[in-house]
Structure 1
């Protein structure tokens, strides 16, 4: 059976130079919030630069805010910026830290060290990061009142080394915690558009992926895991859907889920009879409430065969491949949820925004 032949024309809406912007399409540098806010959080040396994407595409090249990085030696664990842009929170190797624009520490929530998979003495220069790729993550809630943080913190009673904690964004005080039976190599978090739920994806290397959702109502932390197979990566959420999108760890399929994890739709990549089976890349998501975009760059293996796909957002039926005006775009994709998506041109260092309509 031949691959879907229908092509859908992409129109270039914006193109701006943005050094380091590849992290927006192949990483966790894009932070979206309820109300339509989309910001790029880009680390450049000792500074975190924050760009409002709407302002950037409107011609404003200067960052909307710049935060000194509290521990420049630590390069893992993505930050989060408050909705009003007044402070940033960093998931450090040994603490969660809130920092003002002038670099002053607003508060610090210490935790056990991520390095070396656990508990070891620290000697010498405390600024020196310990070896190992392990790290946690943090996310400021859309109302700016809470910080959700994945931390290393032992609990002998439950035999858990890691926890998901809810902190007061004003002072870092702990409000609740969830013990996790995970051995993280890295994690990230997404806020659900309903403003209440937060998703946590924990990568554990060859041991798979854990996926949790939780809600803090001010008195009780309610949480549930939705990835019993340990192979689903949390990809995206959208205001037009009550649930979320995942991709299988090896790229075998995409799934649309209800918030409790129930599978609503599933799609495997299409292939030509004379080609190796393709796989979905990890970057995919909602272009808008009706459309999902996904790519098969890694399995295509050659720039001239790079493909981006548009799918129905409720059934995941494939609508067709994206036809770019100057030929295939060899980039991962990052949809913005407003009818557009991003790609990054490494050759020119530009962030490009596309849609299926000219306006």
Structure 2
């Protein structure tokens, strides 16, 4: 059975797409919604009135997009850039509010000027961390190499650390060793500002999922799913987590309280792409099987949207699915009135969006 999607809005990218990680995305804050794009020199934030573009805020970026990631505060008054050598917070005026330096992800002796390493292959393709704001905007969570500049170089944090910082001035409030060797990482915020998820990709070695709790004085970190879970999303209430295994075979819903799995769905339950079956011939079943993307989320508390676009791309248009988190199973395949590309990205308010094939626009959908 299929479910038709309705186009809610189409939004053009604020700036021409120039390459690595410069596609637009949607973000929400308290009573606000933003269209955000990182281009070669800036983080561009367009405030939306409903779905209509409004005023634009521009945060100057300290390094090119291929050399780091970013996070925007819920009120869009501060952007934090996570680079190869430092975290840097920039306010709406373009002023650097604070900076925290750390050892280089590429292992160099250190640079203070990005122009000195922009063309360096080791810096471009090194491991990397990530950064995120808590939902109240008062805390910044950051995954960096340790030790950072606020700590004695002889500290025993280990090669990588997870920090909780005061967003106002960059003061480190807490730290914990991650025990990871990252190729990259992604933060997933929880509605409770004192909780945060961190997925660390270690290439073929696995994908540890860390769950942090900050009570105002102490940071505790749990690991959910061992070395084999990628955190995709937190439900709107914060009660549920959505994960996929590192091998993309199993989708699972967890209790946020303790990480226990409440329901799981194996990719074998998803039919192969129709074009794959037509072309299969004597191919083994494993060669045409579908598997889940590393993206997905909660359309609302009772509906999850996920994709099999990566496994489908060899055969044609990628497919998106609706799943019930109470007992995951493919409910329906989503059908669209126009061609879509890439995975679905849920917004938690009954809508989700897709980005055009050229990354030049995004399209918002509802059932």
Q: Same fold (TM over 0.5)?
A: yes
**CA displacement at 1:104 relative to structure 2:** 1.6
1:248 maps onto 2:256 in alignment:
no
Q: Is the 8 A contact 2:249 2:291 kept in 1?
A: yes
- The DSSP-based 3-state class of the residue aligned with 1:299 is helix
Mapped to 1, the partners of 2:26 and 2:195 lie a distance apart of 19
Mapped to 1, the partners of 2:195 and 2:18 lie a distance apart of 28
Note closer, same or farther for the CA distance 1:350–1:169 as it changes in structure 2 (3 Å cut).
closer
1:68 maps onto 2:55 in alignment:
no
- Return the structure number with greater relative CO, CA threshold 8 A, min gap 6: 1
Structure-1-length-normalised TM-score? 0.85
**CA displacement at 1:251 relative to structure 2:** 1.6
* Structure-1 residue corresponding to 2:347: 336
Q: Is the 8 A contact 2:71 2:79 kept in 1?
A: yes
Which moves more between the two structures, 101-110 or 156-165? 156-165
Q: Unaligned 5+ residue runs, structure 2? A: 148-152, 281-287
Note closer, same or farther for the CA distance 1:127–1:47 as it changes in structure 2 (3 Å cut).
same
1:277-292 alignment runs, 5 A limit: 277-292=289-304
1:229-308 alignment runs, 5 A limit: 230-259=227-256, 260-269=258-267, 270-272=270-272, 274=277, 276-302=288-314, 304-308=316-320
Q: Unaligned 5+ residue runs, structure 1? A: 1-5
Q: Is the 8 A contact 1:78 1:188 kept in 2?
A: no
Deviations 1:157-183 (A, max 9, x none): 647111001111121111110012111
**CA displacement at 1:331 relative to structure 2:** 2.7
Note closer, same or farther for the CA distance 1:320–1:138 as it changes in structure 2 (3 Å cut).
same
- The DSSP-based 3-state class of the residue aligned with 1:97 is strand
Q: Is the 8 A contact 1:31 1:80 kept in 2?
A: no
* Structure-2 residue corresponding to 1:139: 132
**CA displacement at 1:310 relative to structure 2:** 0.7
Q: Is the 8 A contact 1:303 1:329 kept in 2?
A: no
* Structure-1 residue corresponding to 2:285: none
Which moves more between the two structures, 250-259 or 300-309? 300-309
**CA displacement at 1:134 relative to structure 2:** 1.3
1:190-229 alignment runs, 5 A limit: 190-228=188-226
**CA displacement at 1:95 relative to structure 2:** 1.2
- Count how many residue pairs are aligned between Structure 1 and Structure 2: 340
Please, which of 98, 103, 112 is the counterpart of residue 112 of structure 1?
103
1:148 maps onto 2:159 in alignment:
no
Q: Is the 8 A contact 1:266 1:316 kept in 2?
A: yes
Mapped to 2, the partners of 1:22 and 1:32 lie a distance apart of 25
Note closer, same or farther for the CA distance 1:125–1:145 as it changes in structure 2 (3 Å cut).
closer
- The DSSP-based 3-state class of the residue aligned with 2:204 is helix
Mapped to 1, the partners of 2:66 and 2:31 lie a distance apart of 28
* Structure-2 residue corresponding to 1:3: none
Q: Is the 8 A contact 1:21 1:350 kept in 2?
A: no
> Aligned-pair RMSD on alpha carbons?
2.8
Deviations 1:132-189 (A, max 9, x none): 3311111122222211111111476647111001111121111110012111111111
Deviations 1:40-85 (A, max 9, x none): 4311111110134x43x6322653x11001234x633321122222
